Amino acid sequence: MKPRPLSAGLALVLAASSLALAGCGQASTEPTAGASDGQSDQVVIGVAVYVAHPSLQLIRDGFTDYLEEQGVRATYKDSNAQADAANVATIATTLAADADLDLILAITTPIAQGIVAQVTDIPVVYAGVTDPAYAGLVQDNEGLTGTNVTGVSDLNPEAKPVALIQEIMPEVKTVGALYSSSEANSLVQVESFEAEAEDLGITIKRVAVTNTNEIATAVATMTDVDAILIPTDNTVVAGIEPVIAFGQNNHIPVFTIDAETLSKGALASRGLSYYQHGREAGRMAWEILVEGTPAGQVPTVVSRETQLYLNPDAATAFGVTLPANLLAEAQIVATTG
């Protein structure tokens, strides 16, 4: 279905309750109950995610909250590929054939790649994608695409994660980067870690996995690193628990780009708010659905705001003393669960 401008006088309604994106056993494509009363101004939005974890849920929450606040009446059809490439293809095919859809929100690089490859006549807004140009979604990460695709990147070039590790651990020499070899967004980040580390006199040790089942074995090879750095890798973040346990047992601090992981025991992150990231994607969807702007005329953007997050509980578990100046400026996170 082509995007249709909405009437300006829509009453505010609850667009959708936050549905946990997790499924079990197979790809899911399920509608989320919205405020459906049969009015012609109701829109239908497909939401697809590669795998479930808290940061990706925050993107969805920010997206739906923004549209609700703007008075957009929406029904959502949620899909979760559960980190399976075959499920990505199935979801993309299903969405491409859904004549009821007014827009698709594609969360994460792998799911966005699958959808953009198959969907040509429905507006697509991506989010949680690190380098859209590298992933082949757009020509440039910032600007007009002229296609049915736009979105917001979480590349966040101001974060400088290796420098943060050095601020907390001045004697650091080697940092292990654990990532999924099947996620283009992760490779881009690891390469940026290496470029930043070279200027700081630090070595990056790459360790790749292909699925969550390999994480415990892979991280066990990192006994020779001083710290571990996890990119916004959907596979590793979804299975972070053995990484945290390994780090605690060996007093090797775990740093992440994904701030939500701190509540599971990671030490520090300097990154963006994924809730605000989702709201930015929601603003783009509003331009398309309400203003009637073609997706290709809504500029793509890169998130640049950063916030420092520290977990003092994790510092104790890793045997690290956090600098007072960083504690003074950080948002403090406690380990839960």
Residue 139 sits in a domain whose CATH number is 3.40.50.2300
Give me the number of domains the chain comprises: 2
Question: Where does the pLDDT of residue 31 fall: very low under 50, low under 70, confident under 90, or very high at 90 and above?
Answer: low
Share of the chain above pLDDT 70, in %: 88
DSSP-assigned beta bridge partners for residue 204: 175
Does some domain include residue 65?
yes
Q: Which of 4, 34, 32, 69 is nearest to 278 (CA)?
A: 69
Q: Rounded CA gap, 105 and 124, in Å?
A: 6
pLDDT exceeds cutoff 80 at 337: no
Does some domain include residue 226?
yes
**144 and 240 share a domain?**
no
**257 and 283 share a domain?**
no
| Mean pLDDT to the nearest integer, 38-52 | 82
The pLDDT of residue 23: 35
Does some domain include residue 295?
yes
User: In terms of residue numbers, what domain contains 142?
Assistant: 28-155+273-302
Does some domain include residue 10?
no
Q: Which of 16, 5, 114, 123 is nearest to 60 (CA)?
A: 16
The pLDDT of residue 253: 98
**324 and 188 share a domain?**
yes
Does some domain include residue 21?
no
Q: Rounded CA gap, 130 and 155, in Å?
A: 4
**144 and 169 share a domain?**
no
**60 and 77 share a domain?**
yes
137-148 pLDDT, tens digit per residue, is 999 999 999 999
**Minimum mean pLDDT range among 55-64, 181-190, 283-292:** 181-190
| Mean pLDDT to the nearest integer, 168-188 | 95
**231 and 277 share a domain?**
no
| Mean pLDDT to the nearest integer, 109-135 | 96
Does some domain include residue 204?
yes
Q: Rounded CA gap, 110 and 50, in Å?
A: 6
pLDDT exceeds cutoff 60 at 154: yes
Does some domain include residue 17?
no
- State the amino acid at position 200 in one-letter form: L
Does some domain include residue 23?
no
pLDDT exceeds cutoff 70 at 2: no
pLDDT exceeds cutoff 80 at 198: yes
The pLDDT of residue 36: 36
**Minimum mean pLDDT range among 3-7, 121-125, 313-317, 326-330:** 3-7
The pLDDT of residue 9: 32
